Amino acid sequence: MEADDFEGKAEQIAGLILNAQRTIVFTGAGISTESGIPDFRGKDGIWTKVDPEDFTIQRFVSQPEVRKMHWKTVAEGGMVKDAKPNAAHYAVAELEKLGKLDCVVTQNIDNLHQVAGNSSEIVFELHGNVQYVRCLNCHKRFTMAEIVARLAAEEIPECEFCKGMLKPDAVFFGEALPQLVLHEAAKRANQCDLCIVIGSTLVVYPAAYIPLYARDAGARIVIINIGPTPMDSTAAVRIEAKAGETMTRVMYHVRTKMGK
């Protein structure tokens, strides 16, 4: 993309943000790869290195060896060890601080939006959050740090309250998405007038319905992604560039237009 074209589109997105009454941001793996978290579905993604079947809820529940493998991975730091928010995460957090963000709907499980400064109450995690652990029996939720502290003594930790099976609080294959979260995200999408897609190919459903709901409700769509998406032809602005550099320039123009 030519530099002038890129800057013009960044300024155009800033104008859409300032004119919108309700903006939602929809994020996928492409925002977190810039924090060093590997993509799951890319040509060098996680699924090319491990057996996806080991990430099904059926195998996790039925096979102790699979559970042991998962907790060993967690004990070694997991896939998000040392990951920190990047410029795109901080830009989305700044939108909230400026009063220009209704919510974030994310496919990511890394907790980086909250670490960057977004309020947990407006971050809707469609695929869960790997920084937490949930008991499959009593449904009590623990922080991952609590459970990691026990892994030196327990290969397969159990719930300390009911002795039930513990599982990282991310959605495994074969599990339904959290219905209350999905319902609230869909409601916000139907009420927004601007949806900014950052780092998603929009091919993973039902998560990818969220921008479609926004579009069908009359919202303008912005897509910031490396690689095509099925919604490119209907986007008001489409930028083929990295999330961090794009959102940095967008927020520069937002602040400039707001006189900040």
Mean pLDDT of the region 187-193: 98
Does residue 127 carry a catalytic annotation?
yes
Question: What's the pLDDT tens digit per position in 99-118?
Answer: 999 999 999 999 999 999 99
| Identical fold, 1-37+84-127+177-260 and 40-79+129-170 | no
When pLDDT is cut at 50, 70 and 90, the band that residue 38 belongs to is: confident
Q: Apex CA 78: angle with CA 114 and CA 129, to 5°? A: 35
What does pLDDT average to over the chain? 93
- With b for 16 or more beta-carbon neighbours within 10 A and e for fewer, the 154-165 pattern comes to eeebebeeeebb
Architecture of domain 1-37+84-127+177-260: 3-Layer(aba) Sandwich (3.40)
pLDDT at 24 over 70: yes
Catalytic residue, candidates 70, 127, 139, 183: 127
| Residue that has been written with the tokens 């579009």 in this structure | 215
CATH class label, 40-79+129-170: alpha beta
Question: What's the pLDDT tens digit per position in 126-170?
Answer: 999 999 999 999 999 999 999 999 999 999 999 999 999 999 999
Q: Do the Cβ atoms of 260 and 251 come closer than 8 Å?
A: no
Provide the whole-model pTM: 0.94
**Torsion region of 148: left, alpha or beta (phi above 0 gives left; psi -120 to 50 gives alpha):** alpha
Question: What's the pLDDT tens digit per position in 48-77?
Answer: 556 778 889 999 999 999 999 999 989 887
pLDDT at 223 over 90: yes
Domain ranges of the chain: 1-37+84-127+177-260, 40-79+129-170
Q: Do the Cβ atoms of 89 and 35 come closer than 8 Å?
A: yes
